[in-house]
Amino acid sequence: MLELIDVTQVYRGGRHAVGGVSLRLGPGMLGLLGPNGAGKSSLMRIVATVTRPTGGGLRYRGADAVAEPEPLRRELGYLPQDFGVYPNLTAREFLAYLAAAKGLSGRSARARIDELLHLVNLTEAVRRPLGAYSGGMLRRVGIAQALLADPKVIVVDEPTAGLDPEERVRFRNLLSELAVDRAVLLSTHIVSDVESVAADIAVLAGGRLLRRGTPEELCREAAGRVWELTVASAQLPDVQGRFAISRMVRGTDGVRLRLLADHPPAPGAVAVAPDLEDAYLALVHQSRSQSRSQSRSQGAEVAR
């Protein structure tokens, strides 16, 4: 349905934000997981036809969506990471304005707006200007506008930023329902946003696609490398300097750590089954280690 072919994005100064990413998306949800600065937002803007890629291609229903973006745009719902509004308009007025821009008729637009305002739990705030909304409420308006035209492709970039825990669950459930017969691309750095809703996950770091697979497949790759260990608070800086730590909990007996290591990191360390957060951290940590090794090798070559 939607295909990215060796997509690259290079900004001024030669900075590579996206480096040769190829992905196919059909009906269902793809969770794009990566740290801040991984190139996720740059890739989302390319998929949403906001940015033209430096290289590579984007195809939708078999047609070139870089040269002819309108067919994709007509069937696309996009929520960018930085979503702007007109602060003097109410939510209903703002959505009506966007509905008119998308070509929705007045009657169908009003019915759709009422449906979406209820869906994102904003019915009681419709008469207030958007300038008086909290950050979480504005995010919900952004979610509503992305769904206005009943899109076939939904692209959402860090969609749960600013939402409280209950709203996060509501939105994740909504995306799951929409993904039954639509292509949904969910980009986030928060593992919990994808682990409960996405059976297909791609990990991006340094602008490169590191891996794509099911949560089970990604976890299997980290098997045998995850350990739990309790250390004294005074030992923590040394352990943090030597290992990638996925979580820590302070208690009366010290600091309980969950960390990555190819071998037992210390006496008393216990091997545990990896979860998705461990698998994600392992991939990102390995990518960074490889990048540092390449930089050192290149530096050595230059010195010679």
> DSSP per residue over 105-131, as a string?
-HHHHHHHHHHHHHHTT-GGGTTSBGG
Res 254: pLDDT: 92
Rounded distance, CA 197 to CA 177, Å? Answer: 10
pLDDT digits (tens, 9 = 90+) for 248-268: 999 888 999 999 999 999 999
Res 304: pLDDT: 59
Strands 55-60 and 63-64: antiparallel
Res 293: pLDDT: 60
pLDDT digits (tens, 9 = 90+) for 202-225: 999 999 999 999 999 999 999 999
Q: Do 133 and 187 fall into the same domain?
A: yes
Average pLDDT over residues 87-106: 90
Rounded distance, CA 244 to CA 129, Å? Answer: 46
Q: Do 8 and 59 fall into the same domain?
A: yes
pLDDT digits (tens, 9 = 90+) for 269-294: 999 999 999 999 999 988 877 766 66
Amino acid in position 139: R
Average pLDDT over residues 85-92: 93
Average pLDDT over residues 74-79: 93
Q: Do 267 and 188 fall into the same domain?
A: no
Q: Do 128 and 10 fall into the same domain?
A: yes
Place of tokens 């994102």: 120
**Residue 261, Cα to own-chain centre: how many angstroms?**
26
Query: Residue 303 pLDDT > 60, yes or no?
Result: no
Which residue, of 186, 214, 242, is where some domain finishes?
214
Average pLDDT over residues 170-179: 86
Q: Do 22 and 145 fall into the same domain?
A: yes
CATH label of the domain that carries residue 132:
3.40.50.300
Which residue, of 166, 195, 214, is where some domain finishes?
214
Least confident of 32-41, 154-163, 235-244, 292-301: 292-301
Average pLDDT over residues 72-81: 92
Query: Residue 238 pLDDT > 60, yes or no?
Result: yes
Least confident of 90-94, 137-141, 164-168, 188-192: 164-168
Which residue, of 155, 183, 214, is where some domain finishes?
214
Buried b (16+ CB within 10 A) or exposed e, 169-195: ebbbebbeebbeebbbbbbbbebebbb
Res 298: pLDDT: 57
Res 84: pLDDT: 86
Structural domain harbouring 140: 2-214
Place of tokens 């040269």: 67
Query: Residue 172 pLDDT > 90, yes or no?
Result: no
The chain-wide mean pLDDT, for the chain, equals 90
Res 147: pLDDT: 92
Q: Do 173 and 238 fall into the same domain?
A: no
Query: Helix crossing, 135-146 with 165-178: angle to 10°?
Result: 10
Q: Do 82 and 137 fall into the same domain?
A: yes
pLDDT band at 139 (very low <50, low <70, confident <90, very high): confident
Q: Do 40 and 183 fall into the same domain?
A: yes
Res 6: pLDDT: 97
Res 161: pLDDT: 77
Burial of 259 (0-12, 13-18, 19+ CB in 10 A): buried
Q: Do 269 and 256 fall into the same domain?
A: yes
Res 299: pLDDT: 57
pLDDT band at 301 (very low <50, low <70, confident <90, very high): low
Q: Do 201 and 244 fall into the same domain?
A: no
Q: Do 187 and 237 fall into the same domain?
A: no
Q: Do 100 and 159 fall into the same domain?
A: yes
As for how many domains the chain has, the answer is: 2
